[in-house]
């Protein structure tokens, strides 16, 4: 259950970063890099 919840939280954070990138009209590749960085940071924070 905890793994499913953490995956869901990571997905929501990455989706929010992607939507913010769309709102600010960021370059597509920069948006992908920001989404990957958000996934990595969120996973590290959830594992503590």
- pTM of the complete model: 0.77
* Per-residue model confidence (pLDDT) at position 4: 86
* Per-residue model confidence (pLDDT) at position 48: 75
**Domain chopping of the chain, boundaries:** 2-47
Long-range contacts of 5-14 (CB under 8 A, 24+ apart): 6/43, 6/46, 9/42, 9/46, 10/39, 10/42, 10/43, 10/46, 13/38, 13/39, 13/42, 14/38, 14/39, 14/42
* Per-residue model confidence (pLDDT) at position 38: 92
Where the chain has pLDDT below 50, the residues are: none
* Per-residue model confidence (pLDDT) at position 36: 93
d(CA 26, CA 44): 25
* Per-residue model confidence (pLDDT) at position 46: 87
Look up residue 31 and give its two tokens: 């948006």
């Amino acid at each position: 259950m905890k793994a499913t919840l953490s995956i869901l939280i990571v997905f929501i954070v990455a989706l929010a970063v992607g939507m913010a990138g769309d709102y600010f009209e960021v370059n597509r590749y920069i948006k992908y890099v920001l989404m990957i960085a958000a996934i990595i940071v969120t996973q590290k924070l959830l594992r503590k």
